Amino acid sequence: MWHSSLRSTPWRRRYQPGVPGEVDIPDIPVTRFLDDAADRYPRKPALIFFGRQLTYRDLREAVDRFADGLRRLGVQPGDRVALILPNCPQQVIAFYGVLRRGAIAVQHNPLYTEEEMLRQLADCGARVAVVLDRSFATVRAVRSRLRLDHIVVTSMLDFLPASRRIALRLPLVQMQRRRADITADVPDDPGVVPFTRLQRPTRGAVRQLPVDPARHLAAIQYTGGTEGRPKGAMLTHRNLVANACQQHSWDLEGRPGEDVTLAVLPLFHSFGLVSCLVSPVVTAGAVVLLPRYDGDRVLRAIRRYRPTIFPGVPTLYEQVLDSPRFQPSDLRSLRIFISGAMDLPQSTIDRLERLGAKGLSNCYGLTEASPAITANPLDGTARNLTVGLPLPSTDAVVVDQDEPTRVLPPGEAGELVVRGPQVFAGYWNAPLATAQTLSKGWLRTGDIAVMDEDGFITILARLRDMMKVNGFTVFPTEVEKVLRRHPAVYDCAVISVPDTRRGERIIAHVVEHPAYPFSAEELRTHCKRYLSHYKVPSEFRPRTELPRNLLGKIVRQQLRDEFAESAPRRMGSAQSG
């Protein structure tokens, strides 16, 4: 549809010298990266979990045992296996074990409610679920309405080193009591299997079952659902291999067998899966697994393991810097900060630069693109208020959202459309949604963007978030950036709601700075100074916090739902005519 209009690739002129315009994508399954790493660097650490290390040889053996265990459970190529786990060795072992078996890994947030869990498990039709003991009750509650043949249950305690148990003040008696509690909660049911049973030694070599990387699915990753019900994005082996190779080609300073990646992002999210697991394995890097974010825990991990790569989101970086224990020297080992999933504020950029941080790269991606699409250069030429340049082997155009066959010139805002080997195969059980999103290999991102003459892309808003006031287009990020310049605004989110006179009106949800209470009139005056009158919010609503998803991205749909469910509230003189 758009290939005839793609006249040039200006972004390649801005690549760091040595970064290729096209990347050779090997015709291999995802597990080949693990096998190659285990062959070349068998004694190098693959996973580090609270001090316990699994070498690449250890990891491959554990993966093979798990794959053989799945065989004994009757899992066949193409079957879906649900992984309901936080960042832990079992998650990694299960992910690669499922792929070794030729099956499809379907990852879920272990904090899901029964309704959320039921919806996704029913949609993907998983035959086996691998579950953390703390999530077992949720899965058990919905099992009768599913096709689940087996539930594999594991515990964090299984991979904690003895030193960590002592540090957590879990002496032997408490450990035994905790295991007894787990056993009591897990019924004596042939369909419920301990993870350890699937780690029994194998009688022979466990081989990768044949897959066609371009056709066979490696994973079904459910979209974040910030704008509606999540959909299952079908990612082939080639999709994940391609995106890992693209990210690897962007990092010219990578050191095989030496890099250490800090995995705070959840691996069950596509950003964490590729940036914190699949991509590091390409170069046999070590992955430091943290099951949840904790400021002190992150700092201890940084000081102990001296990571070189830190994928994260701006709020995570800010929380690390805000820790009372933080020292500028904590950043010395880090050579790359991969920032994504949400806007990177100028204040965060400035703060990291003042502290001497290097290699900050604001990036952009979608679950549907496995997930990375763009990145900022790592050679000091980054423009981190943009999301950077299309990655190697990636094409991008900005089109008129009302006439999507028309490609817009540099500087004009429209919908970003991309293609590349990382673009997904479609949505699981959703052919109509697939047809609306994919066309001849091109992916309609649903994001409004501007591309400059050099190929740097700026994301303005989700198409669904774009606002129309008196017929004029307003982007929420533009209003939010102005609001954040006021010292009273600690955080904010802007939405629009229906209005009979103006079509839509703008509401700003504001979290005030604890040291600077605000008045609505003060914020209105501030906005009028920098924005056209139709862009100024008609109402300013105070909040103690904003709804965010697991990566810290604001869930605007929840704000709209709250407005629809409740009578409009006014705050002092916040409402204007």
In a domain, 545, yes or no: yes
**Per-residue confidence (pLDDT) for residue 302, from 0 to 100:** 96
Lowest mean pLDDT among 68-82, 165-179, 331-345, 383-397: 165-179
Average pLDDT, the chain: 90
Q: Is residue 524 part of a domain?
A: yes
For the cut 70, the answer to whether the pLDDT of residue 237 exceeds it is yes
CA angle 147, 153, 155 (to 5 degrees): 155
Integer Cα distance of 406 and 397 in angstroms: 10
Is 535 part of a structural domain of the chain? yes
Assigned token pair, 252: 């010219």
DSSP string, 143-176: GGGS---EEEEE-GGGG--HHHHHHTT--HHHHH
Dump the DSSP string for 511-543. EEBTTB---HHHHHHHHHHHS-GGGS-SEEEE-
| pLDDT at residue number 548 | 87
Q: For residue 548, how many other CB atoms are within 10 A of its CB? A: 17
Can you give the residue range of the structural domain that contains 561?
466-565
pLDDT at 423 over 80: yes
pLDDT of residue 205: 73
Query: Would you state the structure tokens that stand for residue 559, as one six-digit string?
Result: 């704000």
The radius of gyration computed from the CA coordinates of the chain, to the nearest angstrom, equals 24
Assess if residue 520 is contained within a domain.
yes
Q: What gap in Å lies between CA 498 and CA 500, rounded to an integer?
A: 7
Tokens 């990578």 label which residue? 254
Asked if 264 contacts 312 with a C-beta cutoff of 8 angstroms, the reply is yes
Is 106 within 8 Å of 129 (Cβ atoms)? no
Does residue 456 sit in helix, strand or coil?
coil
Q: Among positive and negative, which fits the CA dihedral 166, 158, 88, 148?
A: negative
pLDDT at 73: 96
Cis peptide bond N-terminal to 29, omega within 30: no
Q: Could you give the percent of the chain with pLDDT greater than 70?
A: 91
Give the C-alpha separation, 460 to 479, whole Å: 11
The pTM (predicted TM-score) of the whole model is 0.86
Please tell me the chain's helix, strand, coil percentages from 3-state DSSP, rounded to the nearest 5. Answer: 35, 25, 40
Each residue's pLDDT tens digit, 340-360: 988 898 999 999 999 999 999
pLDDT digit string, tens, across residues 160-203: 877 665 555 444 444 444 444 444 455 567 789 999 999 998 87
- 323 within a domain of the structure (yes/no): no
What CATH number should be reported for the domain holding residue 533? 3.30.300.30
Evaluate whether residue 287 is within a structural domain. no
Q: What is the pLDDT of residue 94?
A: 98
Total domain count for the chain? 1
**pLDDT above 50 (res 572):** no
Tell me, yes or no, whether 530 lies in a domain.
Answer: yes
Determine, yes or no, domain membership for 559.
yes
Q: How far is CA 198 from the centre of its chain?
A: 29
pLDDT score for 408: 95
At residue 459, φ and ψ (nearest 5 deg) are -90, 125
Partners of 46 in the beta sheet? none
Strands of 404-534, DSSP E: 414-419, 438-439, 442-451, 457-462, 467-469, 472-474, 489-499, 503-512
